[in-house]
Amino acid sequence: MAQCVQSVQEYIQDSFVPMVAVLCSEDAERVTRKNSLSFPELLRPFCRLTSEGHLRDPNNQVVVVKGLRISVTGINTRPPQTPEMQRLLSQAVSVCQPPEVSPANVITAGDYDLNISDRTVKASVPWYSDWKETLTQLSSSKYYTATTPWFETYRENFLQSMPASEHEFLNHYLACMLVVSSCEAVPTERFLKLSQEQHRIQHSGEYTHPKWFIPNTLKYYVLLHDISEGDEQRADSVYEDMKQRYGTQGCYLLKINSRSGSTGADEQMPDPWSQYLHKTSIHNPELYEESAVSNAVENNIGAEEGGLDPSIRDGVSETHPLQLDQPTDAGYPSNNASQSVNNVDMTRPQKQASVTSHTTPTPRGTCLTLNDHDHIRQFIQEFTFRGLLPHIEKNIRQLNDQLVSRKGLSRSLFSATKKLFGGGKVPEKSIAELKNTAGLLYPSEAPELQIRKMADLCFLVQHYELAYNCYHTAKKDFLSDQAMLYAAGALEMAAVAAFLQSGAPRPYPAHYMDTAIQTYRDVCKNMLLAERCCLLSAEILKSQTKYSDAATLLIKMTSEDSDLRSALLLEQAAHCFINMRGPMVRKFAFHMILAGHRFSKAGQKRHALRCYCQALQVYKGKGWALAEDHINFTIGRQSFTLRQPDNAVAAFRHILINDSKQSAVQQTAFLREYLYVYKSMSQVTGDGSLPQLPLPCLHSSQTRVFCGHERRLAEGEKQAATHVSLDQEFDRDLSQLWRELEERVVAVVNRGAVPITFQPSQCCLNSQTDNLRYPLAVVEEPIIVEVVFRNPLKVPLALSALCLLWKFTPKDFSDPQGSTAGETITNEKEATMALNGIIDTQVIPEFTITPEETKVARLKLLPHKTGELHVLGVVYNLDTGEVDNSEGSLAEDLMCVRGQQNLEIQGSRLNMTKEEKTSVTYGPDHRLDPIITPPMPLLEVFFINFPTGLLCGEIRKAWVEFVNMSAVPLTGLRVASTHPEFFTFGSAASDLTPVTPTAAEHCSAYKTVAMPPSVETVSLVSPAAFGVTSGDRPVVAEIPLSQGVLGPGEALQIPLWLRGPDREGVHEINFLFYYESTEKTAKLSHRVLRHTAFICASRSLSIRATASRSNTLHSRERETEERQEEEEKNGSMLVFVDVENINTSEAGVREFHIVQVSSSSRQWRLHKCINPVGDKDSKLASRERGKLCFKATRCRTEEGGIVSSTTPCADFFFRRGLPSEPRRGGVSTGGASQMWRQSGTDDGVTNIVKKCSEVELDIIVLWKAYVVEDNKQLILEGQLHVALQTIGKEACSLSQKEETQEMVLLKFKPDIPPPVSKPSLEQLSHLIKTCLHYPESYDHPFPQKSLCMVPVTLTLSNCSLAQVDVIVDLRHKTTSPESLEVHGSFSWLGQTQYKLQLQAQEVYRLSLKACFFQAGVYNLGTPRVFAKLAQTSAMCETSQQSAMPALIIINSV
């Protein structure tokens, strides 16, 4: 149970107090009425004694009475009937609400921090998410400290309104005060009349009520003296007479009204009566009105026809706040029974003070001073100590004596005597009389009742030990007589008395209470007594920390006959669960829900709302989805009923935004309820601003923004550039590639440097792009915002009139400062159509989202002015997607509400500086804040006859069309590509005929001339003519425009040559078109257009080329010796070209023809084709191979020579790309030097050695392919490139795929210096070229002359550009027997080892003599030549590659 203000002992003592009746004369009543009080009301604040009282029990032991309170009421006070009592209790609970300003009360229960206070309505519901921050204090005690004042109010009023019962005497009158004014003519006669009236009421038998404790009721005579009007001496004399007549202990002179009501009215006097007479005072006055007027009281109690009684509205009652004016009842003394019996009710209708009217209540006690307060307090003390307590003591003794005198009789004889003399029980007379009994009533003089009477008297004066003994004795007697009502009462009070005994001599007998409750409820059918018993027992159990037992007891007392009682008891049971040693938080929440439900049925809307809100703290966020939905739904309804539309909308919103597990029907009901509440709230507020809607869910972070024109579709043969669109998926790597391409173009435009202010073009912005800068959009070009909606419900949602919400600030960017040209405009409150002149806003009329669907809406804005635009959110009408024809369109309109949702996007986390890395900070995201810039040109690109598939190396001609779609001229058109070798626009000098694509349909891509076969033609071509100016491939190409400008609406068509990639497969080729405006603007310097083409390359030919040195002797028929030396210096070389058709005929290719072989080099040229088949084309069908042999000679000039020197052959040759090594020779003038970066002498050595074996000859093979497609024969053309670099090393047109390296463990070591580059042995073996000159056959007469001497010339040619030391060793190797067999039996005569030094490119002839002993065939190629560079002294000589076998035939003649 909740914490109470009083302790359990104080609560029980105040529940059972001595009752004192009051009879006033009219004059006495008039004296008290000056203070707006009746006499009982005048005494009420002073009825608790501040000092201890004493009396003696029958054993002459002193009993100390502490803190005794007496109850003084009018003699004709009537407790309300059950329906009226229920209504008044309901009102008392309704008006007692927690104050709004009390501190929050937080209880820590297990893992939960529960806020049980006035703020729980705010603190626990979902719209108050940070409720913990509102807490102003925490519970410092480990015990539960939550209070429920409404429960205490209910309990207090309930106990005070209990009707007097026959089976107990606790609320029977013990005494009667007879009050007469001192201004009466004969006060003593008035006292006599009042005394007779009291005697008549008690003993005449006319009245069943009030009940009197004992026959000889104490009469206490009070003379009331009005000091401001009466004669004090007369009053004193009358009082003296009274003391003589009634004794000093039976009368009292009470002097009040020391001042008149008019004098000193401005002086503020304390008002002790307010807390007693204003129990219904409330913190919020409108609550009373709501509870009294708006709410039905009990589900089984009808509302009163006359509304509230005036006395209740006054808050003034004679006995307690629930007293009602009632019609005269025969069982009660009425106002007209005697002139001397007066009641406050006679004057009450004249009162006008009303709580419901919110007027200030009439001040009370205006004629009383503090001395008068003391007089009243002294009077009560005198009455109690000198009158009431002695009277009780005397009666206890008398009752005890009677009981002791009867103890001697046996129990059976005593019972027989009772039967003989009529002292037994009387049978039931009427149902009305015995409705609270179990069928038996005892007469008033019955001994059992005398014991009960004595026990009640002892209990009232706090003599609990004697009271317990008497209750226990009476209980046995009642049970033996089967008088169950009496027995239950004795059990109840015995248990309470046992608990209250000081020192706790015996444990609390809880089973007594359980039996009493069960008897009251089940046997006697008296729920009032059962409820009282339950309230007492629960409070006692709580004080003993038996919360589980208390909760069980409270739950048992809930029933269908009273929703209010059940609600209050369930709430207290919930508090018991949370206050256990191990708090049962979920049980607390469950019973709070039950309590809230019963409060709602009882009409207590605010209490119901509070209970549900407290329970929600437990269920919220724990996965109890259905329970949470039910609670929020109830909170929404109750809040709406209590005119709290904001809270209602927030609660319904919470149901809808979560992933609900409800059925579709239930979700529809929730949605309709929300729309209705929302509609009602919007009508009430009517401030014009649109509130936030919870549905559908808006994924703000997934919002995408597209700035720029929409892509045009292909028209006929034209294929439009792909550009960027919202339909494309974002690829971070691809985005980086486009950015690098754009940077290259910008660097070319800006003479090699990228400006600091460079901002890459971003047409489509999303969560993965860089949104730290404001995006740039162009005026008169649409901005498309893609918004992602998700419907979390199982029912469709219908959105209508969907459009973007924006804010726009006009600015003039032609001004350098960018001054603001107008005020900020928004379409939040103004009609969208009215602002279409500034920004044209697209409105989607209908947008339906099916159940649990995620759907994208694309909303368009078209700005007509420059400035700063901010997209704030979306605005739409929300409706249920289900159309019910029976309700009609009117109902649909009623359920349709208009609202908005904001697009709030959190930027990416910053992670650059140390501060950003150590903290969690997010950067801005400006994708929804575009800057509208002045007009810019807009380019569209169309491709005509653009292929999708090519053979490797195939040349195809296509056309490209550039169209300026804007009203601004365009200039500076350039294109960049990731594959510049794939296409060319031709050289500036190339012939651009034919001029149209249709005329060029059947023409060859090559320019051909008539010339004889197998004849060389040499053309000198500069790479610069084809856009190649450096070692890098030409990534950026400038597109020529007429006069450099493409005007508004103009179009330009130019040819485009394409060459199939060298590798088969699907290739993605990216084009970036760059262009600028003729007028430079500060915001947007350029624009780009992207195009991605996919080309499928099929296999064609594989070409392998090998170069080998020619060892042939030069012809001796040269004209001069100088010419011969020059030829020998230049040298010659054989080039073998191996061609294989690797096409598998999947593209319909029948055969390939090798049309032409061209070469390109700065040092070599193809001189002659050695073709065994004559001058016919080489034909290769599928899987066939062929080999061509060419003779190459050195060029005389240093200029590059290329045979096929026109577009497009030359373009693609210069644009070709080597996979790994840089190009050298005629194509790349500075390529070779970039590879060597070592310092020192080795650099020069390596270069010299390397050039000995370098060839640097590029072969271009032109071919034709005959293709059959759709029963037509087509001729395809193409070219392949092979780069020969080293003698004897094979080169291939297809780059070999690198083998994938195995993954190895990386070890981090300090970087070691790179090794010094040294020439390899293979390179060093090519320093010297050797050649033997000798006759092929030699005749010698061996029979005559046995020794044959043959002269042989050994020619040594230095291939390097430096001095070379040469050693020639003529001795045969004898290390293996094979050498003798190979060389035969000949030997060199003369000097057998020479040491020579050859200058750069020097040719040296050495004359030798070979000696033969017999005829035969001999190999003269035995001389070994060793060489080293003269400048490298540390190096050893390297063996040079020997020449081919030199065979000589020796004939014997």
Q: Are 232 and 329 in contact (CB under 8 A)?
A: no
pLDDT the model gives residue 1370? 86
Report the relative pairing of strands 71-74 and 19-24 from DSSP bridges. parallel
Helix 664-685 crosses helix 625-641 at what angle (to 10 degrees)?
30
Query: Which DSSP symbol is given to 302?
Result: P
> Quick check: 229 and 259 in contact, CB under 8 A?
no
Distance CA 325, CA 177 (A): 22
User: Has residue 99 got a pLDDT over 70?
Assistant: no
Region 451-472: mean pLDDT is 92
* Model pLDDT, residue 681: 75
pLDDT for 1312-1329, tens place per residue?
Answer: 555 556 777 777 788 888
The C-alpha angle with vertex 854 and arms to 851 and 859, in degrees rounded to 5, equals: 120
- Higher per-residue pLDDT: 194 or 1133: 194
How many residues in the chain? 1453
Task: Write the CA distances from 1139 to 1173, 1209, 1262, integer angstroms.
Answer: 15, 19, 12
d(CA 1255, CA 478): 133
pLDDT of residue 338: 38
Q: Which residues of 920-946 are buried (b: 16+ CB within 10 A; e: fewer)?
A: eeebebbbbbbbbbbbbbbbbbbbbbb
CB contact set of 608 (below 8 Å; sequence gap of 6+): 567, 596, 597, 599, 600, 634, 638
Pairing of strands 218-226, 251-256: parallel
Mean pLDDT, rounded, for 534-554: 92
Q: Give the C-alpha separation, 460 to 778, whole Å.
A: 94
DSSP assigned state of 290: I
> Where does the pLDDT of residue 289 fall: very low under 50, low under 70, confident under 90, or very high at 90 and above?
very low
So what's the pLDDT on residue 923?
A: 83
pLDDT of residue 1314: 57
Alpha-carbon span 656 to 695, nearest angstrom = 7
pLDDT band at 297 (very low <50, low <70, confident <90, very high): very low
This prediction has a pTM of: 0.66
Q: Determine the residue type at 503.
A: G
Closest-CA residue to 787 (of 726, 869, 832, 728): 726
* pLDDT value of position 114: 64
Count of Cβ atoms closer than 10 Å to residue 909 Cβ: 12
Compute CA distances 1177 → 191, 1028, 1157, 1166, 1263, whole Å: 155, 32, 11, 18, 10
Residue 589 phi/psi, 5° resolution?
A: -65, -40
The neighbouring-strand residues paired with 270 are none
| Whole-number pLDDT of residue 422 | 39
Q: What is the mean pLDDT of residues 78-97?
A: 83
CA–CA separation, 183 and 924 (whole Å): 90
Q: Which residue has tokens 């070229």?
A: 1329
For 1215-1241, b where at least 16 C-beta lie within 10 A, e where not — what string? bbebeeeebbbbbbbebbeeeeeeeee
Tell me, what's the pLDDT at 989? 46
Nearest in space to 1333 (alpha carbons), one of 1410, 1400, 1425? 1410
The string of pLDDT tens digits covering residues 561-595 is: 889 999 999 999 999 998 888 889 889 999 999 99
| pLDDT tens per residue across span 1158-1175 | 888 877 877 767 665 555
The pLDDT tens digits for 943-992 are: 998 888 898 999 998 999 999 988 889 998 999 998 888 888 876 444 44
- Mean pLDDT throughout 472-501? 92
Nearest-angstrom CA–CA distance, 831 and 840: 12
Q: Is 419 exposed, middle or buried (0-12, 13-18, 19+ CB in 10 A)?
A: exposed
- Which residues are within 8 A (CB) of 758 and not within 5 positions of it... i.e. 6 or more apart? 743, 746
Q: How confident is the model at residue 820 (pLDDT cuts 50, 70, 90)?
A: low
Residue 1430: band (very low, low, confident or very high) from pLDDT cuts 50, 70, 90:
confident
SS3 of 555, please? helix
Place of tokens 């050195």: 1194
Q: What is the pLDDT of residue 391?
A: 93
pLDDT tens column, 1069-1116: 999 999 998 888 767 888 899 899 999 988 888 898 888 877 654 444
Which pLDDT value is given to residue 1? 53
What's the CA gap between 1319 and 1316, in Å, rounded? 10
Mean pLDDT of 1351-1364: 88
Q: Environment class of residue 830 by beta-carbon count within 10 Å: exposed (0-12), middle (13-18) or buried (19+)?
A: exposed
At residue 1364's C-alpha, the angle toward residues 1359 and 1369, to 5°, is: 100
Smallest Cα–Cα separation from 1094: which of 1072, 1061, 1062? 1061
| pLDDT for position 1197 | 44
Q: What is the pLDDT of residue 997?
A: 47
Tell me the average pLDDT across 74-87.
83
18 pLDDT more than 80: yes
Q: Which tens digit of pLDDT belongs to each residue from 591-624?
A: 999 999 999 999 888 898 989 898 888 888 888 8
Q: Report CA torsion sign: 32, 38, 41, 46.
A: positive
- Say which DSSP state 1044 is in: G
pLDDT given for residue 1433 in this prediction: 73
Q: Is 55 helix (H, G, I), strand (E, B) or coil?
A: strand
- Find out whether 39 and 179 touch, Cβ atoms under 8 Å: yes
Residue 1120 carries which side chain, given as an amino acid letter? T
The Cα 24–Cα 190 span in angstroms is: 10
At which residue do the structure tokens 């724990």 appear? Answer: 622
Which three-class secondary structure state does DSSP give residue 1281?
Answer: strand
Q: Can you tell me which residue has the tokens 């910053």? A: 910
For residue 495, name the pLDDT band (cuts at 50, 70, 90): very high
Instruction: Quote the Cα angle for 1014-1020-1021, to 5°.
Output: 115
Describe the crossing of helices 82-95 and 605-619 by its angle, rounded to 10 degrees.
Answer: 60
Residue 348 in this model has a pLDDT that exceeds 80: no
End-to-end CA distance of the chain: 143
Beta strands in 776-866 (DSSP E): 776-778, 783-790, 797-810, 825-826, 839-841, 844-849, 854-863
Instruction: Tell me the average pLDDT of the chain.
Output: 76
Could you give the CA distance from residue 94 to residue 80 in angstroms, rounded to a whole number? Answer: 19
Q: Is the pLDDT at 625 greater than 50, yes or no?
A: yes
129 burial class (0-12, 13-18, 19+ CB within 10 angstroms)?
A: exposed
- Is the pLDDT reported for residue 142 higher than 60? no
Beta bridge partners of 1356: 1330, 1404
H-helix or E-strand containing 370? helix 370-382
* Distance set, CA 811 to CA 74, 92, 824, 837, 868 (Å): 85, 66, 10, 16, 7
Secondary structure letter of residue 1251 according to DSSP: H
Kindly report, residue by residue over 1122-1138, the tens digit of the pLDDT.
444 444 455 778 888 88
Residues 658 and 683: beta-carbon distance below 8 Å? no
Percentages of the chain per state (helix, strand, coil), in multiples of 5: 30, 25, 45
Q: Chain centroid to CA 566: how far?
A: 41
Task: Confirm if 360 and 29 have CB atoms less than 8 A apart.
Answer: no
Q: Are strands 19-24 and 173-181 parallel, antiparallel or unpaired?
A: parallel
